[in-house]
Amino acid sequence: MTLISESKIHLSLSNALFSYGFVSTNADSSLFFCATSTHCTYVLVYVDEILIMGSSNNYVSQLIVGLNSLFALKDLGRVNYFLGIHVTHTTNGFHLSQKKYLQDFICRAKMQGDKKIATPMNATLKLSNYGSDPVQDATFYRSIVGALQYAAITRPNIAYCVNKVAQFMHNPLTSHWIVVKRILRYLAGTLDHGIHMQKSFHFTLEAFSDADWASNPEDRWSTTGFCVYFGGNLIGWQSKKQTNISWSSIEAEFRSLASVVTELTWIQSLLRELHVSLRAPPTVWCDNLSSVMLASNLVLHARTRHIEIDLYFVRDKVLHHQLLVKHVPALDLVANCLTKPVSCNRFSDLKDKLTVVSLSTLSLRGPVKE
């Protein structure tokens, strides 16, 4: 009954927005927008939370009044929290963090007084399904790791280590719990860290792709990692175990390349619907020179036959000038920390490039003047 009720409410809200001239995007059915010669307004709906933004304060106010006459709304004013994410307005944008959320589950794990640490994972650590005793409370392990997965929404720099500990949900061991506690110790010392999104006047789309070939010591599956920037702001990332065994590092890298191109294709589709034009084709940076050359090489080799679909998918984008694939030195590859644990200094450098910063280092913006 609850699902039917929520479905009816969403349908009623959708119809109300349609009557105001809004359209729903095909790329994301929860996002509505209305673009006219005088304003652009966007409405994001998630269950019972609605986020409204636009270029005209007057139109946004009129829309809220109109919707309030149809539904029981509570106007909370300028956004401060949305889906548990704390939004802090800075002089040049927004800072997104989850301080209260982190504090809650760190307290639940009874680790708020533990010594803080500079990195969430040891750079030389290899996790295994064997080697230590099972944890005493597997349900509690799954609960904390599940909370960490949501925390990674504003902390992309922990995406890799959270992905690793999440792979042992079925049979968590003491060695895995030790890694989880290290992640919690790192978060406890960086509670006010989060993604800083700044104003940008150049609409450019670029991504960094990486893979760690055969990195899992037990099944030799590889790890995919990528991050996507729009106008210099981080808008998407992934750290994921690949679903197929790769015969070579080139294959692992190219599978990662295909994953990020898929993400870019979806983002481009969304931007087109929102009438946002890119100044140039998206650029994907990869540190594997063979993969870069393979993206534009029309010759198929026997060793690449098993990834032929990925090859054609990426190559078609390149040949039609919808995408650029370029080489970048491994030292400058931002996605490096999404595929493997790195040293303390390297982690700090990549964290900055992922635009994860402390709120204390930013200048805050005062109340909005009406």
pLDDT in tens, 310-347: 777 898 899 889 999 999 999 999 999 999 999 999 99
**Angle (CA) 218 308 338, round 5°:** 45
Confidence check: pLDDT of 21 > 70: yes
Q: What is the DSSP string of 131-191?
A: SSPBPS-HHHHHHHHHHHHHHTTS-GGGHHHHHHHHTTTTS-BHHHHHHHHHHHHHHHT-T
pLDDT in tens, 303-314: 555 566 777 789
Confidence check: pLDDT of 246 > 90: no
Please give the structure tokens belonging to residue 135.
């944890």
pLDDT in tens, 169-187: 999 999 999 999 999 999 9
Query: Among the listed ranges 148-157, 176-185, 197-206, which one has the minimum average pLDDT value?
Result: 197-206
- How many Å apart are CA 346 and CA 327, to the nearest integer? 20
- How many Å apart are CA 177 and CA 110, to the nearest integer? 13
Confidence check: pLDDT of 299 > 70: no
311 by DSSP, 3-state: which? helix
pLDDT value of residue 175: 95
pLDDT value of residue 6: 54
Confidence check: pLDDT of 228 > 50: yes
pLDDT value of residue 344: 94
Is pTM, for the whole model, over 0.85? yes
pLDDT in tens, 131-145: 899 999 999 999 999
Query: Among the listed ranges 21-30, 158-167, 253-262, 360-369, which one has the minimum average pLDDT value?
Result: 360-369
Put the strands of the sheet holding 81-82 in their side by side order: 81-82, 85-90, 93-97, 193-198, 356-358
pLDDT in tens, 68-99: 988 888 888 889 999 989 999 999 999 999 99
Across the chain, mean pLDDT equals 89
